[in-house]
Amino acid sequence: MDFLTDSHKLLMVNNGQQVKQEAAGQTEPHANESKMKLKRRQFTANEERRVRFNPLNPLCLLTVMRLLLLLTALLALQLVGGQEDYCFGKDAEREQTRHFTSKTAYQIVKGTNMDKQYQVPGCEPKKMWIFHRHGTRLPTPNTIRAAPRLEDLRDQIVKNYRVLRTKPETNALCSTDLIAIQMWKWNTSITVDIEEHLTTQGYEDLRGTAKVYQHYYPTVLPTRYNDSYYLFRHTDTQRTTESFKGFTEGLFGDNTVATAADIPEQDLLLRPYDYCNDFKDKNYKGEGSEYQKYRTSAIWNRTVDDITKRLGFTFLAEEDIELMYDMCRYEQAWQVDRTSVWCGAFLPEQVTVLEYAEDLKYYYGSGYGFEENTKFNCRAVQDMLTRLSSPVSPHVIAYFAHSTGLQTLLTALGINKDDVALRADNYNSMTSRRWKTSLLGPFAGNFVAVKYECTEALEKEKVVFFLNQNAVELDWCNVGLCDWSQVLEHYKTISEANCDEYYCRSGAMAGRASLLFTALIAAIVYLMH
């Protein structure tokens, strides 16, 4: 009887007692009837109360719904009022660090699929040609001189938030990022006399890439150094010299066993841009350029205003924004496993706007923005084709150079060319563009060509191109694997060109004129004595 209500049970007990009393002659029938009527009225009143508060009653449902709506509204107000602003310090993904253009850390954007890309069934790797940008470096002299200014900006931002109360209502700095900025100090040991020097992370970048390629190609990259098998060369800078040492330590376990080729007085192979006025004089970032147009566009101005408000300012010079952005990128690349406090100054979507400006600069400076750029790095392309075509040593050729050299090489080879040109007015439609300096030429960016012999295939020689440990997919190749005969045919024009005249007459002529002038001066001095 457990399913009966308490009221029913009470009524049954009372009725039972009444029957027993009447049988014993202890109660009068009329008195009992009066008591029964009273109890029935009490029972009916209780049931009415139950019906009145029955949750299935339409009136009760309406009341409950009103209460739920009120609670929902209060909860929504609470969520909006306490919603956490974007916090770089707490962001586990930090996707924007993949969009720092030429100052992107290699460890963040390097490829991870070589396990599936390096194996060519029925073929054996025989030769390797490498063009390697130097690793992470220190800032330029101008940035080092300006860096103490960041301490003033630090104090002003904290004052804006804590004293002036100019914190924006939306997209403000989170407390974690604000405290991190407040604690930041410039490293005064970084001085102009060591400008652009390779950092510890930069050395590790190169040591790491050597180990990776040696892991996948142990027969091509033996651990014992042989000066006829290996050919190394770097430019006349500290950062490329130390990058070469880091790379050779990765291969041989010691950075002193290998030697690099002599650096020519005019390094037309690795630094041709230093000797070509036509290349240096083109307008890729001056007045009227797409770069400058973009920096006066609505989306740029809106982004600058948003960053200014985010930091609590009513006005902030673009030079200050660029300084914070540069320090964010440098510090993030110097210590990949940590966060730069200055990256917290920017929302992820603001970083992509800043990225596009530099992509425009590089696109017209070293990329497909000007057709002539495809002809510029003629010597590097010829060197690759000649070295890989030769059956004799050296079997490994590795050059250590700079971002402009790497970008112009990729441009000459037609890698990552977009169907639509990058312009100041098409940022929104170019978010999936191929020309992204962050992916093409980060710190320690590298282009590697691996030549294979395929004895049982119809085409005996093949090649796979790698860019930052990702196999390069060219339209005229088979999923990254190219027939060597196709490569020679595709680049026939540039391989047969006279590089002295193919792009930059001024560079070659200037070189010859310089030698002639030097010889003339020497002759005059000789005659005078």
Alpha-carbon dihedral 504, 508, 510, 514, rounded to 10 degrees: 170
For 297-355, how does the pLDDT look when each residue is reduced to its tens digit (9 = 90+)? 999 999 999 999 999 999 999 999 999 999 999 999 999 999 999 999 999 999 999 99
Average pLDDT, the chain: 86
What pLDDT, on a 0 to 100 scale, did the predictor assign at position 43? Answer: 43
Tokens of 390: 């030769």
Kindly tell me if the per-residue pLDDT of 99 is higher than 80.
yes
126: burial class by Cβ within 10 Å (0-12, 13-18, 19+)? Answer: middle
d(CA 344, CA 351): 11
What pLDDT, on a 0 to 100 scale, did the predictor assign at position 11? Answer: 33
d(CA 489, CA 354): 39
Alpha-helical regions (H) of 25-95: 29-52, 58-81
Gyration radius of the chain's alpha carbons: 38
State the pLDDT confidence band at 503, using cuts at 50, 70 and 90. Answer: confident
State the pLDDT confidence band at 65, using cuts at 50, 70 and 90. Answer: low
State the pLDDT confidence band at 6, using cuts at 50, 70 and 90. Answer: very low
What pLDDT, on a 0 to 100 scale, did the predictor assign at position 67? Answer: 60
Half-sphere exposure of 138 (CA within 13 A, CB side): 22
What one-letter code names the amino acid at 385? L
d(CA 203, CA 221): 19
What pLDDT, on a 0 to 100 scale, did the predictor assign at position 60? Answer: 52
Q: Which residues contact 75 (CB under 8 A, 6 or more apart)?
A: none
Q: Which of 54, 49, 39, 52 is nearest to 9 (CA)?
A: 39
What pLDDT, on a 0 to 100 scale, did the predictor assign at position 180? Answer: 98
Cα distances (angstroms) measured from residue 11 to each of 33, 40, 301: 14, 8, 83
Domains by residue range for the chain, with CATH: 85-528 (3.40.50.1240)
- Per the CB < 8 A criterion, the answer to whether 465 and 480 are in contact is yes
- Per the CB < 8 A criterion, the answer to whether 503 and 378 are in contact is yes
Q: How large is the average pLDDT for residues 126-137?
A: 98
* Choice between 407 and 78, residue whose per-residue pLDDT is larger: 407
Alpha-carbon dihedral 275, 278, 280, 286, rounded to 10 degrees: 170
State the pLDDT confidence band at 504, using cuts at 50, 70 and 90. Answer: confident
State the pLDDT confidence band at 403, using cuts at 50, 70 and 90. Answer: very high
Q: Which residues contact 408 (CB under 8 A, 6 or more apart)?
A: 272, 273, 366, 373, 376, 377, 380
What pLDDT, on a 0 to 100 scale, did the predictor assign at position 218? Answer: 97
What pLDDT, on a 0 to 100 scale, did the predictor assign at position 20? Answer: 41
Kindly tell me if the per-residue pLDDT of 16 is higher than 50.
no
Cα distances (angstroms) measured from residue 349 to each of 295, 310, 361: 16, 13, 19
Q: Which residues contact 165 (CB under 8 A, 6 or more apart)?
A: none
Kindly tell me if the per-residue pLDDT of 490 is higher than 60.
yes
- Per the CB < 8 A criterion, the answer to whether 409 and 380 are in contact is yes
Q: How large is the average pLDDT for residues 452-456?
A: 94
275: Cα separation from own chain's centroid: 32
For 146-184, how does the pLDDT look when each residue is reduced to its tens digit (9 = 90+)? 999 999 999 999 999 999 999 999 999 999 999 999 999
- Per the CB < 8 A criterion, the answer to whether 202 and 165 are in contact is no
For strand 124-133 and strand 396-401, is the pairing parallel, antiparallel, or unpaired? parallel
d(CA 351, CA 330): 14
Paired residues of 463 in beta bridges: 451, 482
- Per the CB < 8 A criterion, the answer to whether 210 and 247 are in contact is yes
Q: Provide the percentage of residues in the chain whose pLDDT is more than 90.
A: 76
What pLDDT, on a 0 to 100 scale, did the predictor assign at position 440? Answer: 98
What pLDDT, on a 0 to 100 scale, did the predictor assign at position 116? Answer: 85
State the pLDDT confidence band at 31, using cuts at 50, 70 and 90. Answer: very low
Q: How large is the average pLDDT for residues 236-259?
A: 98
Q: Which of 134, 173, 103, 135 is nearest to 327 (CA)?
A: 103
d(CA 315, CA 172): 16
For 287-296, how does the pLDDT look when each residue is reduced to its tens digit (9 = 90+)? 999 999 999 9
What pLDDT, on a 0 to 100 scale, did the predictor assign at position 115? Answer: 87
Alpha-helical regions (H) of 53-199: 58-81, 106-109, 114-117, 141-146, 149-162, 175-183
For residue 400, give the DSSP letter: E
What pLDDT, on a 0 to 100 scale, did the predictor assign at position 70? Answer: 56
Paired residues of 114 in beta bridges: none
d(CA 411, CA 362): 11
Q: Rounded to the nearest 5 degrees, what angle is found at the Cα of 301, between the Cα atoms of 298 and 307? A: 135
527: left (phi over 0), alpha (psi -120 to 50) or beta: alpha
Tokens 């040492």 belong to 245
Kindly tell me if the per-residue pLDDT of 228 is higher than 80.
yes
d(CA 202, CA 273): 24
For residue 101, give the DSSP letter: G
Q: Which of 381, 364, 527, 360 is nearest to 449 (CA)?
A: 381
State the pLDDT confidence band at 510, using cuts at 50, 70 and 90. Answer: very low
State the pLDDT confidence band at 514, using cuts at 50, 70 and 90. Answer: very low
Q: Provide the percentage of residues in the chain whose pLDDT is more than 70.
A: 80
For 427-450, how does the pLDDT look when each residue is reduced to its tens digit (9 = 90+)? 999 999 999 999 999 999 999 999
For residue 451, give the DSSP letter: E
Q: How large is the average pLDDT for residues 27-41?
A: 48
What pLDDT, on a 0 to 100 scale, did the predictor assign at position 83? Answer: 55
Report the SS3 class of residue 323. Answer: helix
State the pLDDT confidence band at 69, using cuts at 50, 70 and 90. Answer: low
- Per the CB < 8 A criterion, the answer to whether 377 and 411 are in contact is yes
Q: Which residues are catalytic?
A: 134
State the pLDDT confidence band at 68, using cuts at 50, 70 and 90. Answer: low
Kindly tell me if the per-residue pLDDT of 53 is higher than 90.
no
d(CA 164, CA 24): 93
For strand 446-453 and strand 230-234, is the pairing parallel, antiparallel, or unpaired? unpaired
d(CA 426, CA 499): 35
For 379-390, how does the pLDDT look when each residue is reduced to its tens digit (9 = 90+)? 999 999 999 999
Region of poorest pLDDT, from 12-16, 252-256, 337-341: 12-16
Q: Which of 230, 216, 227, 225 is nearest to 249 (CA)?
A: 225
